[in-house]
Amino acid sequence: MRIFLQITSWVALIATILPAVLFLANVLDLNQTKWIMLAGTLAWFAATPWWMGRKNQPAGE
């Protein structure tokens, strides 16, 4: 479960940063950029607190 949350966090972080770069390169328009960044931000805040700052625990504990 921890790996899934970490991957989700990384994808959400990329979805927060990449649209700004694509907007500057005139690939996305402003409305698309805003929506993708909003979705990435919400996903990041939903996934990250569940794994960040916690120690890896064995499956039985």
What tens digit of pLDDT does each residue of 8-38 get? 999 999 999 999 999 999 999 999 999 999 9
Number of structural domains found in the chain:
1
* Structural domain span for residue 22: 2-49
Q: Taking the complete model, does pTM exceed 0.75, yes or no? A: yes
In a domain? residue 59: no
> What pLDDT, on the 0 to 100 scale, is given for residue 2?
87
Structure tokens at 51: 């794994």
> What pLDDT, on the 0 to 100 scale, is given for residue 54?
66
> What pLDDT, on the 0 to 100 scale, is given for residue 17?
96
Of residues 36 and 55, the one with the higher pLDDT is: 36
b/e sequence 31-45, b meaning 16+ C-beta within 10 Å: eebeebbeebeebbe
**SS percent in the chain: helix, strand, coil, step 5:** 70, 0, 30
Distance, CA of 61 to CA of 48 (rounded, Å): 21
> What pLDDT, on the 0 to 100 scale, is given for residue 56?
65
Q: How many CA atoms lie within 13 A of 59 on its CB side?
A: 2
